[in-house]
Chains A and B, each alone.
Chain A
Amino acid sequence: MPLEAQGLYLPEFEHDNCGAGFICSLNGNKSNDIIHKALEILVRLKHRGAVNADGKTGDGAGILIDIPHNFFKSQLKFELPAPDNYAVANVFLPQKENQRHFCENTLETQLREQGLDVLGWRTVPVNRSVLGEIAAESEPFVRQLFVAKPEGLDAHTFEVKRYIARKKAEHAIWNSKLSEASLFYIPSFSTKVIIYKGLLKPEDISAYYLDLKDEHCITRLALVHQRFSTNTFPTWDLAQPFRFICHNGEINTLRGNVSRMRSREDLMKSNWFTDEIKNIIPIVLPKKSDSASLDMVVELLLMTGRTLPEAMMMLVPEAWERNKSMDPDKRAFYEYNSCLMEPWDGPASIPFTDGTYIGAVLDRNGLRPSRYSVTKDGYVIMSSEIGVVDIAIENIESHGRLEPGKMFLVDMEAGKIIQDEDVKRSIVSKHPYKEWVETNLKHLKDIPYGACEVHQPKAGLETRAKFFGYSQEDISRIIMPMAEQGAEPIGSMGSDTPIAVLSERPQLLYNYFKQLFAQVTNPPLDGIREELITDISLTLGRDHNLFEITDKHCKKLKIKNPVISKEDLEKIRRVEDNGGFDTATLNMHYPISEGVNGLERALEKLVEEAADHIDNGVSILILSDRGVDENTAAIPALLACSYVSHGLGRLQRRALASIIIESAEPREVHHFALLFGFGASAVNPYLVNELIAAHALNQQLSYEDTEKAIANYNKAVGKGILKVMNKVGISTLNSYRGSQIFECIGINSSVVKKYFPTTTTRIEGIGLNEVEREIALRHEKAFKAYLAPGDLELEVGGDYRWRRNGEQHAFDPISIAHLQKAVKNNEPDTYKAYAERINEQSKRLLTIRGLLEFTNYDPIPLEEVEPWTEIVKRFKTGAMSYGSISKEAHENLAVAMNRIGGKSNSGEGGEDATRFYKTEDGDWRNSAIKQVASGRFGVTSNYLTNAKEIQIKMAQGAKPGEGGQLPGPKVDRFIAKTRNSTPYVGLISPPPHHDIYSIEDLSQLIYDLKSANREARINVKLVSEVGVGTIAAGVSKANADVILISGHDGGTGASPLTSLKHAGLPWELGIAEAQQTLVMNNLRSRVVLECDGQLKTGRDVAIACLLGAEEFGFASAPLVASGCIMMRVCHLNTCPVGIATQNPELRKKFKGQPEHVVNFMYFVAQELREIMAKLGFRTVDEMVGQVEKLQRTSVLSHYKAAGLDLSPILHKVTVPEGSSLRNTENQVDETEGAIDFEIMAKAHPALYRKEKTSLEFPISNTNRAVGAIISNEISKIYGAEGLPDNTLRVVFNGFAGQSFGAFSTSGFTLVVNGATNDYLGKGLSGAKLVIRVPNGASFASDENIITGNVCLYGATSGEAYINGLAGERFCVRNSGAKAVVEGIGDHGLEYMTGGVAVILGKIGRNFGAGMSGGVAFVYDPHKKLADAVANDALNLLSVESEEDQAELHQLLENHYNYTMSSKAERLLLNWEEEVKHFVKVLPEEYRQALIRIEKENETINN
């Protein structure tokens, strides 16, 4: 049974990803074999799925096939009409007979009501013995219902009638309160196809469903899917395929999509449905997965008469917005449909079929792999990986891959593959979309400015600024920098202020919301480097009936950047003069004297007025808070926006109008992000405009400069919003609008339910009373309070920099002064003074843990508690890279932690190999934890080999979902060396790991890293947010050893202020949720749970431990112990105490000693021991997860915090006796049985005697990360140097699995005769990789996809020769490898910082985005390169110099010699001519760096 919400666990945050594929026969050959081949695909993709705690239950798998007409005919006692004249429903029913009958009757009745003939039922024979325990508990009774098409009824009407009947039956049964009602589900109900699925492991599908084994059960096509779900209580109905699609990936915009679908329902009208239309509502059933929801919308679109390919184009459009070369008709089609439907956005490979067409689409980012093969004997096989079905090489017609935004379609009737452009051309030419768009869609920029209305405010600028809570800091640190630089300001060292509900100061409502972000189950995006797939334009105006396709549907107003100026807003107000968009302005006001009642009444009135306006034809509502005065206060814009938006939904008018916010409130990116997230379509921040104008006046700027400043600010907000969207993996604002991707913290559920429905709030908090009280406080201050002469008009602030009268900070002068004195002089009493300052929750309400206190004391003598020396072994220092902090500070932490047996963390910057060995005095500068972050800097086999623990940084507390950047000037020679990069070349850490777009990818990376170092624990770092528990469960299933839950407040070297403050949650929530979910799912014993995020005292550690953590990370505090004084200038390289700087002069000022850090750890451990003694724990192990020792403090007079309910945090999950609350067992060693061991057994002479050895092995896609284990062994013996060139050569025949050659080191040559999957040469560390077309192939190598996506990610050295095409993101973040390839997909050479890439064939879009170093030679005879290049900072040069020519020639020669590439041969034969067709791609930054290095070398040599 699915788990109910309890504690902090909410089932709706479960995610799934998976493997998928299909096989079909172009010739229409039907066979039972296709079923088994298709199921074999799943078995071979098993590593992409997951198995639950019972070791038997998979997360769900299934297969879709043609209806086996003859087979059924033979099985049934009743007569079947001819194929296509009847439909089969596969039905999941309750097990209990009485309930089953009810369901069957209900369904039959509904069908009959539609005038359909129910032919009869068939019980599906199943073998229950294959089920796992978990699956058996929720197993439905499976029966099939056969329904005949009445004579004369056309196919579509038959479908519509079945649809209506099914929907009505579903409603009736699910509302019936039957105890087993939830088992009822109809996986398929089609005239063409049938779906067999369940909570099964792939290999058990045919064992369970006996039909599938029957040789008479035959099909032309088979679509298969298996899930990897983050939770362990998946259900049968959520297994895939769904009725029309299956989905590998995740829809990030689900909530917005669903609520927009809801609003569109109001407008639906159809002759097919007539009155029945109300019975199919809601289209999207609640509580279903993203994929299931998408399927339901696909189904609806089919009901409107659209074809399946057209529906897919609407839902998963290409990135057309910035694609200038797109066919104008297609562009118009997409633009038209963007007015009807926002993209269902997220990583998605979606195979689909209606029985006639079978195909697949890929999302605009190309974030899921989709490979296909076409055989000469007429089969098409598509799946996430290649090599999943054995095909003789001679039989292969072609290999291909699905490209971003593209569709792959097979017409089963015609028996042919239809190319993307052909499918789409026929669809886009059905209507005159171009003409429609040109005539109807109005662009804001095209409307001329007119005389602008002069607003006469009733109060002065400063008075209003005060009312809206502006501080001087807001102006000087947020607004003005944005107006000046057009970008969001940066900060550092995290945030240590209380969350809004704990703050004593009146907060804006926005501050009670936290941004969600992508981690693990889907990737955040890089809207800067991958700009071409993003878009923040919006269309405003009335929506129309989805069942029609007319020109009026695109009668909308388009705004490019919906953060608009006052002038723009006035244009919109007047736009009716130009016809069409009637606007109405509604005041967001309430009389201050009426208090909370007035506020409530005003909100109700707003909704009523809005509805009235809409009924009078208004299609743009402007909610305005202009006009506050001493009697009138403003309703928080967010509250008004959300309530009006949802209220109109309730009144079934939401789709008829768009909302514009004209407000003085919003000033930070977060504020705007929330307004759009809760339904606004444009925002004019007029007070910010005024403040900028006032400042400009003060500075005597010209009118133009003032305009520019305002435009800059608007641009900065636009960019910031893009970042917020990208953080959670959304590319277009159209999808983001209304998606509510926020968690509420500190507002009670009744307010949230009423005003922000579907938003999560888990620990209650303030009500509308307190919201109003905060407004009233500000109102009084602005309008009533007498400002003493001499006092400052606006408060100073103090959120970002401590001020006495500003917000409280945990680290303040007093706590830092005490801590530093304590650790320097080893003074326990001074530490106590420090700890008291941090812990004194009664005086300073800083954190959620401040509201907790210990209880259930059971004291034991202190001596009986394990010694501090044991405890500190669980302590770690945070991940801070050498580069973000100085060598001195970095090594200081490492030495200190090694002295006490704790662990320091390298951070994402590699590590100098000399540190791996102890110094003469016995100290060890080696970081026990080596981090693997998205930049993969310095991640080599040797680096990984020297780790005790390898940490995959999925997210960082200070800026989850974002990447980072180390600017060129900071990359000196030493940093460049440890990061394996080029000095003075800027380094970018991408927002996502480009090899983790989903949970099964993480599982793969874990496997890769385990292979690279089998002794090291693999640690996955997550950041606290709602749903982190289910993610942790998934990560546990992905075989991680340690899961770190970071709080939102962690320090950082640099982060946009918005992220610092508004993304992520306190760790108390995250660790408790993770503990509860893991324990609930019986997965806790398999992992170590670690916690970090502003841990400062023994009390903090004790609370984390009681909530479930067993290891503890500290970062800011040990830095403070080392001398950090919270300067918060880490990003500026000017740290005055030599910590966060590379400036040699400043580094000299570093005065930290290992002893200081040791003393800190000692003090914390001692404080913890004292608490343990009081509570009665002898060891930390005993203490983990014992939440009953915590209770909420009773002393609480704080008007806001009083409403908090911490019981969900303190919830103890009821589990069977003996369930573990802590780590007690190791994960299964998946590397066991790896092919590397077989190779090693034969490679002794090479490995131990350096003798040249050559071996040959067969290989298949289940052999993953081949080479990593051997390389680990080589690194152990020979260090970074590896073996001499070509010492060990292994030839593989077949299709290699993912991560082939990962972290392979020098001296190792790996050859594949065949093809490889994704992540070829990940982290390549010196080895040579050769991927060649096997002998006997008939296809051209430069048209053949031979390897997958994300090749050579983070490669540092080595070579790769690829005799064919590679997928997306080739050589991403390569920093030293040399590669030759015959063609690549989109985003090639992204973020590359070094090395050489030779590309002999076609290249995709966005070439060289973020490429700052290295060189590419591109064969470009048709001069197409320039169009593909995304980056202005790339020089495109001819290959002229002798050196360049020699290098290119050599690489081509190698390529030819290794692969026998005919293309290389041709080029070499005609070298003199062909070399002219090569273009050298040289990043400008790299060019300058090379010049600088050369100069420096000259100086050194002289």
Chain B
Amino acid sequence: MGKITGFLEYQRKTEGYLPVDERTKNYNEFTTPLEEATIKEQGARCMNCGIPFCHSGCPLGNLIPDFNDAVYEGKWDKASEILHSTNNFPEFTGRLCPAPCEEACVLGINEDPVSIENIEKNIAESAFKNGYIKALPPKERTEKKIAIIGSGPAGLAAAQQLNRAGHWVTVYERDERVGGLLRFGIPDFKLEKTIIDRRIALLEEEGIEFITGVHVGKDITATELENQYDAVVLCGGAAMRRGLPIEGADLKGVVQAMDFLPQSNRRVSALPYSEDEISAKDKNVIVIGGGDTGSDCIGTSRRQGAKSIQNFEIMPMATPDRPQDQPWPFWPMRLRESTSHKEGVDRHFSIMTKRFIGNEKGALSALVTVEVEWKLGANKRMQLVEKEGSEKTWPCDMALLALGFTGSEKTLAEQFELQFDERGNVKATESNYQTTRKGVFAAGDQRRGQSLIVWAIAEGRQAAHHVDEYLMGYSHLPLKGEGDLPRL
């Protein structure tokens, strides 16, 4: 299996990118694919490890060595079959996943890891191109009905799995289009929306019903749902955004990333939006928050024509290499540079925004920061200490708050009288994904808290098995099996 000496012969290669000037002129994806022969070589780099740590590092439990080998052999149909057996939507993860698998790749101990994610994307794309991916409706129906609330990756994955088990699945989405954050949170330059559409078309063909523009909890109540369906799966995400409750936070120009990005996406997709226009054009933009959303804000601001873009992160700058206490194969907190970063941004670390300053019109004109240090406190926790005399004022027309999320929205959950965990997520354990209410399940960010797409799909799949089991007394839907690498 695999090419025994492949890793000694070939270097890691991933897709290229169009030049910055060119790609920032529009919102299209800008990768330049590899030749098929090169991808096969990349597959050949996989060592077919006795213990494939990648397979453990992947929250989906993707059978990475197996599909790598199939790619190396040029058996793209088989690769797609293997890949889809654990991952409903590899075209999403192949583009958007931060690839914990690659951090856990054995080759990564002392070489560049196998370019697993890119291989995954290529498997998915070749499968679409060659028609290997077909609607797979169930052969028999159980006549059980399931409502899935939310059409993000968790909801979609749960829907597809439960439909495969023969249940009738209805997905509710309050927006007018399906996809959740995939569609409205993630900019097109990372995921063109046709990618979502072609998958949704397949899901519909398989028999899943999508009801959009309906806000469950408002337009339809929990009781009505329970009456109509045999089970309900909450996949509404962790929609509560974290704010920045400091002086001037209400100034015009202090904008939540999750207001900024959806509007931009709607504009790109020519969808209507109701709020005021938010644009970075000709503005001094400061993106507060150094995560993926922050990065998306940077790329979007760049494309909107910002005058300048700064990025603040309260944590210290991580090293590009692994920290000693997060050795291979664990997921390391290290400095990551996204394509948006590369398009031009000044990144600042160990910096905290103290207050926003407005101009006479009540619009943001500047903000004040202070440098911080992290010190071990008395309770053995790291504590934030401001550096004296490090205050600095930055001219700023638009501050984008990309500070993460604080948990599930409460409305529907409260109607179901669900309990929450201490982090504000709907309470349900991985043993069965069932909430404190019988027949009501939760998966994805709504259960787990904000996380990765790959986790959302994994949760959707796992939850589907348990929902199926709840309905039927047994389930033949696959589980990913144990073996997730713990997070340090």
Contacts and interface: CB of A to CB of B under 8 A. Distances in A.
A790 to B, nearest CB: 5
Contact of A1127 (B49, B63, B138, B477): B49
Given A1125-B53, A1126-B49, A786 B4 contact: no
Given A788-B477, A804-B61, A811 B84 contact: no
Contacts of B49: 801, 1125-1128
Contact of B51 (A790, A792, A1126): A1126
B161 interface: yes
A813 interface: yes
B77 to A, nearest CB: 11
Contacts of A472: 66
Interface in A1125-1176: 1125-1129, 1132, 1134, 1136-1137, 1143, 1145-1146, 1149, 1151
Interface in B99-134: 104, 106-107, 109-111
A825 B322 CA distance: 14
A801 B478 contact: no
Nearest to B134: A789
A443 interface: no
A381 interface: no
A1151 B111 CA distance: 13
Bin chain B's interface residue count: 35 or more
Interface string B128-159: 00000000111110000000000000000000
Q: 10 closest pairs, A vs B, by CB?
A: A1128-B50, A804-B481, A789-B136, A813-B56, A805-B481, A1126-B50, A804-B483, A788-B164, A804-B61, A1126-B51
A805 B61 contact: yes
Contacts of A493: 50
12 contacts: A787-B476, A788-B161, A790-B84, A791-B476, A801-B52, A813-B53, A813-B483, A814-B56, A820-B328, A1127-B51, A1134-B7, A1136-B47
A493 B139 CA distance: 44
Contact of B478 (A788, A806, A1125, A1151): A788
Nearest to A476: B1
Contacts of A278: none
Contacts of A1134: 4-5, 7-8, 47
Interface in B33-89: 47-53, 55-57, 61, 63, 65-66, 81-82, 84-85, 88
Contact of A801 (B51, B138, B483): B51
B293 to A, nearest CB: 29
Given A788-B164, A805-B481, A814-B56, A825 B50 contact: no
Interface string B361-374: 00000000000000
Interface in A778-796: 785-792, 796
Contacts of A809: 51
Interface string B461-487: 000000000000000111111110110
Contacts of A824: 324, 327
A817 B479 contact: no
A788 B56 contact: no
Contact of B136 (A790, A796, A817): A790
Nearest to A800: B50
B56 A1129 contact: no
A817 B329 contact: yes
B21 interface: no
B206 to A, nearest CB: 8
A792 B82 contact: yes
Given A1125-B53, A1132-B4, A1151-B110, A791 B140 contact: no
Given A801-B65, A812-B56, A1127 B47 contact: yes
Nearest to B7: A1136
A1123 B327 CA distance: 12
Interface string A802-835: 1111100101111011001100110000000000
A1127 B140 contact: no
A773 interface: no
A812 B483 contact: yes
Given A786-B166, A804-B483, A825-B327, 6 more contacts: A477-B1, A788-B477, A805-B481, A812-B51, A813-B51, A1127-B49
User: Interface SS of chain A: helix, strand, loop or mixed?
Assistant: loop
B51 A796 contact: no
Contacts of A1151: 110
B416 interface: no
Contact of B485 (A792, A817, A1125): A817
A1145 B55 CA distance: 27
Contacts of A812: 51, 56, 483
Interface string B1-29: 10011011000000000000000000000
B53 A1127 contact: no
Contacts of B478: 788, 791, 805
A796 B62 CA distance: 12
B476 A802 contact: no
Interface in A497-528: none
B454 interface: no
B51 A788 contact: no
A589 to B, nearest CB: 26
A796 to B, nearest CB: 6
Nearest to B161: A788
B165 interface: yes
Contacts of B65: 801
B229 interface: no
A803 B138 CA distance: 27
Nearest to A787: B476
Contact of A1136 (B85, B109, B325, B330): B109
A580 B44 CA distance: 56
Nearest to B468: A788
A790 B164 contact: yes
Interface centre among B160, B482, B483, B486 (most CB of A within 10 A): B483
B476 A788 contact: yes
A1136 B51 contact: no
Contacts of A1123: 109
B61 A1125 contact: no
Given A786-B140, A804-B480, A811 B8 contact: no
B330 A814 contact: no
Contact of B50 (A788, A792, A801): A801
A856 to B, nearest CB: 34
A1128 B164 CA distance: 37
Contacts of B329: 813, 817
Given A813-B329, A824-B327, A803 B63 contact: yes
A491 to B, nearest CB: 9
B327 A816 contact: no
Given A792-B85, A814-B56, A803 B50 contact: no
A804 B63 CA distance: 9
Nearest to A805: B481
A926 to B, nearest CB: 29
B480 A805 contact: yes
A792 B85 CA distance: 6
A78 to B, nearest CB: 80
A638 to B, nearest CB: 29
B51 A811 contact: yes
A1136 B50 CA distance: 12
A789 B109 contact: no
B87 to A, nearest CB: 10
A796 B63 contact: yes
Contacts of A801: 48-52, 65
Contacts of A476: 1
Nearest to A481: B1
Contacts of B85: 790-792
A811 to B, nearest CB: 7
Interface in A1052-1075: none
Nearest to B109: A1137
Interface string A1358-1400: 0000000000000000000000000000000000000000000
Nearest to A793: B81
B4 A1129 contact: yes
Contacts of A814: 56, 483, 485-486
